Amino acid sequence: MSEAVVDGGAVRLRPWTDADIEDRARACDDPEIARYLPDLASPHTTDDARRWIAEGAPATWQAGGAAWAVVDPATDRLLGGASMLPVGPSRNHAAIGYWTAPWARRQGVAVAAARAVADWALRERGCVRLELLTAATNAASQRVALAAGFTREGVRRGAGTDRSGAQTDLTAFVRLAADSGDRVAPGLPDFPGGQLTDGRVVLRRLTLADADDVYALQSLPEVAKTNLGGPITPEHLRYRCERAESEWLAGARADCAILDAATGAFAGDIGLFYQEPFTRQALIGYGLRPEFRGRGMATSAARLISDWALEQAGIIRVCAGTFPYNEASRNVLRRAGFEQEAYLKAKLPGRDGGRIDDIQFVRIAEQYR
């Protein structure tokens, strides 16, 4: 098929040329591109770039797909790459992809390119369904997908591979021909300015840099025995921290670090788990390092995250459970505005195979009190 030029407003999509060789080689040698595009040669040389431009891109067009250089409309400087590949041609499905050069990031290039490819595929190729797959840890690309009008559809377990050949999860986003193409809101809103604070503590989203601190906290005996979730291993908690932003965008959970507002030190963690979106009910859980206990920090954190949930995230009920022995946690919740609501016998599975009673507390949105 003929190679098309697409006007994307802030960007232009055009065929690759030899003039792009140096910039493509530099861009594709970037660690982030190498990480999330494992099929690219790494290190990426000018010979690799020349081969793609001479052979790879034309072959993509000949196979019924599309492969563009994404450039600045004013200067023709390379900003990234974009593609479209048929998926089940008889059903008019396709997959799109994109990457942005390091010098062009955080300027809206990826969103403009993704939207331009999608609009072209729906209009010119008659596609009825477009897929956009991202690594489960690639929150930046997931934000691009939402901004370009794609709706998160779910996680494809083991659908991708990394550079070692190991299977990795991919998150699927889809845009249908019938969709408006308008920006899709994330599952949970970001904190205003990226954090919440009351002057005593600061809450911000967990990041990979917090993994060691989270592991040390969760390994404390008194904290570990309250953990009824996944295994407490460095690998598990590293992956949890790495996926924190993706889980936030999905609307599944908001995992946060609790920082001492005075020093910035990691004091603990708190998470909001949106386990019942239909009923608009969420659950919180938290833990503090021993040296920060008894200073009101857990109360501050519980109040801040529940205020955000009730006032900004559209949640109606924020619940928290405590074990019967944990009067200290119940006092935290009472001070944070929670009310005891129920005593549920044998509700929770114990780590030893037994069952544990759960004393539940709740905060309810002001209009329903």
Higher-confidence position of 254 and 221: 254
In this structure, the chain runs to a length of 369
Q: What is the pLDDT of residue 3?
A: 84
Residue 353: the pLDDT is: 79
pLDDT over 70, % of the chain:
99
199 domain-assigned:
yes
Q: How confident is the model at residue 224 (pLDDT cuts 50, 70, 90)?
A: confident
Give the pLDDT confidence score for residue 364 in this predicted structure: 98
- Total tally of structural domains belonging to the chain: 2
Is 129 found in the same domain as 50?
yes
Beta strands in the chain (DSSP E): 6-7, 12-14, 66-71, 78-87, 93-100, 129-135, 151-161, 167-176, 195-197, 201-205, 253-260, 266-276, 281-288, 317-322, 339-349, 355-364
Residue 137 domain-assigned? yes
Q: Which residues of 189-220 are buried (b: 16+ CB within 10 A; e: fewer)?
A: eebeeebbebebbbbbbbeeebbebbbebbee
Answer yes or no: do 354 and 241 share one domain.
yes
| 367, burial (CB in 10 Å: exposed 0-12, middle 13-18, buried 19+) | exposed
Nearest to 260 by CA among 306, 205, 308, 297: 297
Give the end-to-end CA distance of the chain in Å, rounded to a whole number: 63
Least confident of 1-15, 48-62, 204-218, 295-309: 1-15
Instruction: Give every CB contact of residue 4 below 8 A, 6+ residues apart in sequence.
Output: 13, 66, 120, 124
In a domain, 308, yes or no: yes
Verify that 239 and 342 share a domain, yes or no: yes
Residue 24: phi and psi, rounded to 5, are: -65, -45
Instruction: Residue 167: count other Cβ atoms within 10 Å of its Cβ.
Output: 11
Final residue in a domain of this structure, among 150, 176, 202: 176
Span 21-44, pLDDT tens digits: 999 999 999 999 999 999 999 999
199 and 101 both lie in a single domain: no
Q: For 73-103, how does the pLDDT look when each residue is reduced to its tens digit (9 = 90+)?
A: 999 999 999 999 999 767 799 999 999 999 9
pLDDT tens-place string over residues 144-200 = 999 999 999 999 999 999 988 999 999 999 999 999 999 999 999 999 999 999 999
Say if residue 228's pLDDT is above 90: no
- Report yes or no on 203 lying in a domain: yes
* Residue 89, helix vs strand vs coil: helix
| Whether pLDDT at 230 is above 70 | no
Q: Give the domain extent around 233.
A: 192-368
Same domain, 245 and 310: yes
Give the Cβ contact number of residue 309 at 10 Å. Answer: 25
The CATH number of the domain holding residue 207 is: 3.40.630.30
Confidence bin at 139 (pLDDT 50/70/90): very high
* 237/310 same-domain check: yes
Q: What is the mean pLDDT of the chain?
A: 95
- Tell me if 1 is assigned to some domain: no
Q: Give me the residue label for tokens 């955000």.
A: 308
Q: State pLDDT tens for residues 313-367.
A: 999 999 999 999 999 999 999 999 999 999 999 998 887 778 999 999 999 999 9
pLDDT band at 1 (very low <50, low <70, confident <90, very high): low
DSSP element (H, E) containing 146: helix 139-147
185: in domain: no
Q: Tell me the two tokens of residue 7.
A: 């006007």
Residue 135 domain flag: yes
Same domain, yes or no: 91 and 124: yes
Q: Would 187 be classed as within a structural domain? A: no
Domain boundary among 126, 148, 176: 176
Do residues 275 and 350 both lie within one domain? yes
Domain check: are 245 and 316 in the same one?
Answer: yes
DSSP assignment of 309-336, as one string?
HHHTS--SEEEEEE-TT-HHHHHHHHHT
Residues 155 and 221 in one domain: no
Amino acid present at 25 = A
